[in-house]
Chain A
Amino acid sequence: MIQEPFVNDTSPMQRLDPRSRILMATAFAFVVALSDLLSALLPALVVSAVLMVISGLPVRDVLKRLMVVNGFVLFLWLVVPVTFPGTPLFHLGPLTATWEGVLVSARITIKCNAILLVFIALVAVSPVATLGAALARMRVPEKIVLLLLMSYRYIFVMETEYQRLARSASVRGFRPSTSIHTYRTFAYLIGMLFVRASARAERVYAAMLCRGFSGKFHSLRDFSFSKKDGIWAVCMTGALLAIGAAEWMH
């Protein structure tokens, strides 16, 4: 089942305005993504760890999640150290790992994980419904917001629909393998999912029309930027300036 594992009502982050949380996470992500020196990246990693602790999310679950998400980084570790030119560090059969290659990989690992930690602590603590409403209040085009909120809503319906289809295939003895029969079966399951999605779309749209939908999307929620949000924004700006200074004053 698709879930939102880090949505947490008790997290102190929930008391902050989601708009300012989205902005802070975005600003942090860009500053870190554009930094290259360890003297900037290591403090950034510390900031992300602090935010994670404040968010009160279960550290073990978050770390587990990070492992899974680090797939691309792992791939880079396998390739970059032995393909990057520079001072040899050690030999591995015909391959030579270089200092520079290891350093590049380490930098990417720190950047990626610092950004992810902040993203989880500040953004993934809120359900998509809240984030969508916040985006609407941040002047993101209403078509995108409607698309996001409705996709989110129907992911769960489509998942159930797919499971129903897959179950009916498996009770008739379908066992996936590397074969044309398997690929054809999956293609048909997916095709059927699209057909059902399309039919459902007609009905949903009809139901929306019956309730007076005329193309305008209205959001009910209002957010307020409190003093607490102000303090957070100031602290975050300070931290980002410090990271930026470490990177660019060098």
Chain B
Amino acid sequence: MDALNPVIELEQIRFGYDAGKPVLNDLTFSLHEGQKVGLIGYNGSGKTTLLHLIMGLVTPSSGTIRVLGRRIETRKDFLKVRRTIGLVFQNADDQLFSPTVLEDVAFGPLNLGKTPKEARRMAMETLESLNLQGFEDRITHRLSGGEKRLVSLATVLVMQPKALLLDEPTTGLDEKARVRIAFLLNHLDISMVIVSHEYDFLKEAVPRIYSMKDGRIQYDADTGALHGHIHRHPAERHPHRL
């Protein structure tokens, strides 16, 4: 699979919020088409920063970022990146700012210059693909935690990104919602990077997990060793009948 085209390439990225200890230290990472990667690490290991860097929300002090083979430097480059890569934020209340679900999901397509009619159609299709039909007129702030997360995912998927970045997609969710999201991500046909501190969840969602430590991604470490003891499968004998 690695022979396929790279979607995101980071080389020797350095980043720090102040003069002190760098958050990212000579980090190198690439994501190829169709690849699904999980990144695990403690709070403050730079996972979220890494995602924000790819989206151009923060600027590295050194290093290069390439998206679809093209070097990304200027603000304008990043505006294009934001149409190619979708980021699902950790807190769904940060992502969903419109009063109703339909308006929120249609926000991205409208920004891409689609007509209201097209945007509405795309939004409805995306909601349907996530089994969220009937949600369009729901008021966003009255959704449950799991529903908010799914709608957040819809707001990003509707823009048909080439890759998906997810920041702690399970924070504050109960077991059932967690299993549903893992199953969904596992079956989505799109490259993705998922950042989480929950090994069990990552294991369900993606085939490959790296750990982050000291501002770098550890490629040599055996991630299985991160998690020696056995957990029972949350959905018991029917993991995929949700």
Contact with B along A206-235 (1 / 0, CB 8 A): 111111111010111110000000000000
A206 nearest in chain B by CB position: B57
A208 nearest in chain B by CB position: B97
Contact with B along A133-159 (1 / 0, CB 8 A): 000000000000000011011101100
Interface size on A (CB < 8 Å)? 29
For the complex, is A195 an interface residue (Cβ under 8 Å from B)? no
B91, A203: Cβ atoms closer than 8 Å = yes
B51 nearest in chain A by CB position: A210
B82, A153: Cβ atoms closer than 8 Å = no
Are A157 and B141 CB-contacts (below 8 A) given A200-B94, A211-B108? yes
The interface residues of chain B lying within 8 Å CB-to-CB of A152 are 99
Contact with B along A50-94 (1 / 0, CB 8 A): 000000000000000000000000000000000000000000000
In the complex, which residues 127-159 of chain B have their Cβ closer than 8 Å to any Cβ of chain A? 139-141, 155-156, 159
A153, B97: Cβ atoms closer than 8 Å = yes
Are A216 and B111 CB-contacts (below 8 A) given A153-B98, A209-B82? yes
A218, B108: Cβ atoms closer than 8 Å = no
Contact of B111 among A153, A206, A211, A220 (CB under 8 A): A211
B106 nearest in chain A by CB position: A220
The interface residues of chain B lying within 8 Å CB-to-CB of A46 are none
Q: How far is the CB of B53 from chain A (nearest CB, A)?
A: 12
Are A207 and B89 CB-contacts (below 8 A) given A212-B82, A212-B112, A214-B111? yes
For the complex, is A128 an interface residue (Cβ under 8 Å from B)? yes
B86, A210: Cβ atoms closer than 8 Å = yes
Q: How far is the CB of A31 from chain B (nearest CB, A)?
A: 31
A210, B120: Cβ atoms closer than 8 Å = no
The interface residues of chain B lying within 8 Å CB-to-CB of A129 are 99-100, 103, 139
Which residues of A come within 8 Å of B, CB atoms? 127-129, 132, 149-150, 152-154, 156-157, 200, 203-204, 206-214, 216, 218-222
Which residues of B come within 8 Å of A, CB atoms? 52, 55, 57, 79, 82-83, 86-87, 89, 91, 93-100, 102-103, 106-108, 110-112, 116, 119-120, 139-141, 155-156, 159
Known: A129-B139, A220-B110. 11 other contacts (CB 8 A): A129-B99, A129-B100, A153-B141, A154-B97, A204-B97, A206-B55, A210-B55, A210-B57, A213-B111, A219-B103, A220-B106
